[in-house]
Amino acid sequence: MPLRMIMTDRQTYDIRHPEMAMVLRQRVDIGVRPDPATGILESVAHCSLLHIVRVEELPRSAPGSANSGLPSG
C-alpha cells in the first residue's frame, strides 16, 4: 500500500513502492525523484523517526500510470 509520511516541518514524502524506503533504528531513508525511464534515484532523504508526525495511506496508482510503483516527493 502506498504511503505518505508527514514530518514535523510539514514536508511530505510519498512512498509508492516498498523498495524506495529503508527503515533503520533511528531514521527512514527514502529514495526521492526517480527517473521515470530508469528508476535511478536523484537523491535520498534521511528522515528521523522522531520527526514523523503521521503516516497516511495513498490510493494505489492505476496500472500503467506514469508513476506507478515509483515514489514522489
Express each pLDDT in 17-57 by its tens digit: 888 999 999 999 999 888 889 888 899 999 999 999 999 99
DSSP characters for 12-61?
A: EEEE-SGGGEEE-SSEEEEEEEE-TTT--EEEEEEEEGGGEEEEEE-PPP
C-alpha cell at 67: 508513476
pTM for this entry: 0.73
**pLDDT for 61 beyond 90:** no
Query: Do β-strands 12-15 and 3-7 pair in parallel, antiparallel, or remain unpaired?
Result: antiparallel
C-alpha cell at 52: 514523523
What is the per-residue pLDDT for 71? Answer: 40
